[in-house]
């Protein structure tokens, strides 16, 4: 099967959906001639024109506000916010408008829109590297998608664009360069379906976004050096969350380690741990659930300090050994 980078997978999903449905259009800063901050939409304006690839002013509130309004009229906008940190500037439009529309209007209105945004540390400092997904999982009415592999990026983005609800689609900056198998034929991955990236019997590692790659690396090390067979589960979507797959895995292994790049305090790991404890998996646990998250500090710009901030393979291995031994 052919290999694509995460960047190519996202671009291909956008291209195919724009060709499939003329109601799909893009808007964001520098997405036209420049091709977007990370080059995802390079060549799009030449193919679809400025009506469907709309360069916007430097105003996140305007970008998301325009997307909300367009979605209410039957369009399917895909807006790009250059860094996830900047979604805070558009939080009213996303949290108080898009997420509430269907409820406030008794189902007479809806907001079928996607907000794409890159998150995660990549040597860009404390205002350009945050992972704020946990904030938005708290908001009823929003769907939150956080893929890892190119295969998942493409299939889940296509599903998000076709969804009739507002979707926050979180892409990791480092994931744009990761390569993986992507079929040539059309496919869609349903939202709310987790994926077992590696099967195992001794411990369940639940990892999100780019941490999936580190979890797989840790699992390989644990098998070779410690004789520990780790199962790696990628939720892929945080809302809706496929808790059944997670619970079934924990029931099988009896142990759970949750890994995410965002600050550990208040991160999605706490919610996932609570859901495991509230389920039948609680009776199968042989050790306390461990969380491995980013340090509870702003993300440092210095590469050495940033590396210390991010969960590492070594930290994941340490957490697994603590629950296994």
- To which H or E segment does residue 66 belong? helix 60-72
The pair of structure tokens assigned to 119 is 């998150």
Q: φ and ψ at 27, to 5 degrees?
A: -150, 145
CA distances from 53 to 113, 264, 293, 304 (A): 15, 37, 37, 38
172 is catalytic: no
The whole-angstrom separation of Cα 79 and Cα 63 is 7
Q: How many C-beta atoms surround the C-beta of residue 222 within 10 A?
A: 23
- Alpha-carbon distance of 44 to 14, in angstroms, equals 9
What is the C-alpha separation between 109 and 93, in angstroms, rounded? Answer: 15
Identify whether the C-beta of residue 128 lies closer than 8 Å to the C-beta of residue 220.
Answer: no
Annotated catalytic residue, options 128, 172, 210, 260: 128
Is residue 56 within a helix (H) or strand (E), and if so which, with residue range?
none
Q: Which residues are catalytic?
A: 128
């Amino acid at each position: 099967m052919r290999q694509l980078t995460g960047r190519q997978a996202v671009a291909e999903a956008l291209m195919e959906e724009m060709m499939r449905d003329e109601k799909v259009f893009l808007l964001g800063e520098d997405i036209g001639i420049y091709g977007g901050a990370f080059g995802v939409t390079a060549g799009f304006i030449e193919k679809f024109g400025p009506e469907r690839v709309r360069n916007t002013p430097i105003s996140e509130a305007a970008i998301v506000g325009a997307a909300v309004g367009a979605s209410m009229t039957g369009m399917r906008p895909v807006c790009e916010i250059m860094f996830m940190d900047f979604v805070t500037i558009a939080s009213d439009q996303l949290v108080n408008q898009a997420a509430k529309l269907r409820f406030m209007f008794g189902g007479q209105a809806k907001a079928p829109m996607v907000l794409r945004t890159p998150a995660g540390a990549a040597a860009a400092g404390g205002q350009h590297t945050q992972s704020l997904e946990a904030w938005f999982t708290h908001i009823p009415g929003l769907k939150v998608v956080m893929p890892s592999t190119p295969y998942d990026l493409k299939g889940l983005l296509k599903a998000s664009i076709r969804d009739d609800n507002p979707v926050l689609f979180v892409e990791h900056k480092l994931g744009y360069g990761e390569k993986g198998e992507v079929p040539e034929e059309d496919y869609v991955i349903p939202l709310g379906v987790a994926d077992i990236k590696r099967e195992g019997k001794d411990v369940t590692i639940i990892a999100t976004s780019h941490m999936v790659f580190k979890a797989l690396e840790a699992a390989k090390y644990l098998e070779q050096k410690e004789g520990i067979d780790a199962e790696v589960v990628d939720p892929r979507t945080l809302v809706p969350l496929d808790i059944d797959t997670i619970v079934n895995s924990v029931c099988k292994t009896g142990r759970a380690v949750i890994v995410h790049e965002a600050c550990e305090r208040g991160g999605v790991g706490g919610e996932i741990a609570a859901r495991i404890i509230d389920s039948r998996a609680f009776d199968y646990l042989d050790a306390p659930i461990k969380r491995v998250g980013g340090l509870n500090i702003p993300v440092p710009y210095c590469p050495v300090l940033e590396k210390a901030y991010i969960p590492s393979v070594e930290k994941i291995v340490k957490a697994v050994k603590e629950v296994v031994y």
